[in-house]
Amino acid sequence: MTYPIRPIGEAEWAKAAAVLEEAFGWRPAPPQQERFRAETEFDRTLAAFDGDAIAGITAVFSLAMTVPGGRQLPVAGVTAVSVLPSHRRRGILSSLMRRQLADVRERGESVAALYASEAAIYGRYGYGRAASELRFRIRTHDTAFVPGAPYDPSLRMRVVTPEARRADFERVFATVVTRRPGLYARRKQTWDNVLADTDADQRGSGPLRAIVAEDDGGVRGYALFRLKPSWDEDGVPDGELLLRELFAADPAAYALLWRGVLDRDLVTRVETEGRPVDDPIVALLANARQLRARWSDELWVRVVEVDKALSARSYAAPVDLVVEVEDEVCPWNARRWRLTADPAGAECKPVEEEPDVSLPVAALGSAYLGDGLLMAQLDAGLLKERTPGAVRELATAMSWSPRPWAGLTF
């Protein structure tokens, strides 16, 4: 059977949402449904049809994402990938993903990125794991900072109402978004989701709360969190603080906000949502063993057009190599490319020379934001090194600090 694919119209949104609900096994509350609808780019939401019914969908958010060097690159934020359980193993997902990548290329986006609901799926379409995150569980009783932790006497911490200080949060985020690869500019609908506080958003964890670090010049950082008060059987406080996000424009504001989180009365533990693997809190805590961390993959990246993508980012070291890319899904990438880069810029162009390295496009995607495991993949036999030392040279050049992290699922 064939399943025609086309973008959906606004009148078809409910049918597409029903596929999502069935595939992921959840039913969002009406306010969440409406926010999701408001974010939907209908011309970028593809559906596979079985007659009048929708059997599978995939969508894109048009993002401006930071890449190594601080440039914000147009990136296709892939989301809502789902197929009805009744239509699995019929080639629908493959058809949707291939059509989507062709559309992304037509729009001039050289990179696509996604959060994977199942990590085993997307490698077959050329995506590589490009960023990781840590979720911290912190016991607050022994969380002193190291000597010399930053302190600014002009800073004040304030308890604020989140929605009332939205403009301040937006200004702070705008100052930090270009500092870390993977962070992306937030639109109005994105902030609507971040600050949403209905019963469905609270999920029994109480209202959204906020603190800011400010001086006479304005807000320099903020933290968003929820509180779950509790007492043990002896009446001793045993509350939990659920940290949603924390951003600051400078180290002193960052340190003050963490003190506000860790020193909260009646709280004995802090649980964070995903944080960067190189989050400065790891360096600030004198007893880093208090950070109980759970690792997870975060962003997955797909290089859609090799030459444009590799020329758009900066590199940590000079490089001059011929890279042979294997790509069955996007055949326009499957050739040899000479990558040359130095502090003045980068260039990637097709050549007919013998390659120094041969690799699948997913390996290139995994390294794109600066956190690839190219040497590990070489040792695992997944890459072919034609010139001794070439993979190390490429891995060094593509590495970046700080490490990539998007910070907010799309």
Q: What is the DSSP string of 30-51?
A: HHHHHHHHHH--GGG-EEEEET
398: closest CA among 345, 319, 322? 319
Per-residue confidence (pLDDT) for residue 178, from 0 to 100: 98
pLDDT tens per residue, range 112-161: 999 999 999 999 999 999 999 999 999 999 999 999 999 999 999 999 99
* The CA-based dihedral angle spanning residues 77, 123, 400, 133, taken in that order and rounded to the nearest 10 degrees: 70
The pLDDT of residue 1 is above 90: no
* The CA-based dihedral angle spanning residues 158, 160, 166, 168, taken in that order and rounded to the nearest 10 degrees: -10
Helices (H) then strands (E): counts for the chain: 12, 19
Phi, psi of 220, rounded to the nearest 5 degrees = -115, 0
pLDDT tens per residue, range 239-249: 999 999 999 99
Q: Would you state the structure tokens that stand for residue 398, as one six-digit string?
A: 């593509």
Q: In whole angstroms, what is the distance from residue 65 CA to residue 20 CA?
A: 25
pLDDT tens per residue, range 78-123: 999 999 999 999 999 999 999 999 999 999 999 999 999 999 999 9
Per-residue confidence (pLDDT) for residue 205, from 0 to 100: 95
Q: Would you state the structure tokens that stand for residue 119, as one six-digit string?
A: 């990590």
Q: In whole angstroms, what is the distance from residue 253 CA to residue 176 CA?
A: 13
Q: In whole angstroms, what is the distance from residue 373 CA to residue 366 CA?
A: 7
pLDDT tens per residue, range 36-62: 999 999 999 999 999 999 999 999 999
Q: Would you state the structure tokens that stand for residue 383, as one six-digit string?
A: 């890459």
Strand partners, 172: none
pLDDT tens per residue, range 339-369: 999 988 999 999 999 999 999 999 999 999 9
Per-residue confidence (pLDDT) for residue 343, from 0 to 100: 87
Residues 6+ apart with CB under 8 A from 376: none
CA distances from residue 399 to 159, 178, 179, 244, 316 in whole angstroms, order as listed: 39, 17, 15, 28, 6
Work out the average pLDDT over 326-331. 98
Per-residue confidence (pLDDT) for residue 201, from 0 to 100: 95
Q: Would you state the structure tokens that stand for residue 37, as one six-digit string?
A: 């609808």
Quickly state the pLDDT bin for 13 (edges 50, 70, 90): very high
Work out the average pLDDT over 377-390. 97
Neighbours of 361 (CB within 10 A): 23
Question: Alpha helices, DSSP H only, in 107-229?
Answer: 166-176, 188-194, 199-202
What is the C-alpha end-to-end distance of the chain, expressed in Å? 32
Per-residue confidence (pLDDT) for residue 102, from 0 to 100: 98
Work out the average pLDDT over 313-325. 98
Per-residue confidence (pLDDT) for residue 372, from 0 to 100: 85
The pLDDT of residue 251 is above 80: yes
Neighbours of 279 (CB within 10 A): 22
Per-residue confidence (pLDDT) for residue 26, from 0 to 100: 84
Q: In whole angstroms, what is the distance from residue 170 CA to residue 191 CA?
A: 8
Contact 96, 5 (CB under 8 A): yes
| Average per-residue pLDDT for the chain | 97
3-class DSSP state of 378? helix
68: closest CA among 376, 326, 341? 341
The pLDDT of residue 404 is above 80: yes
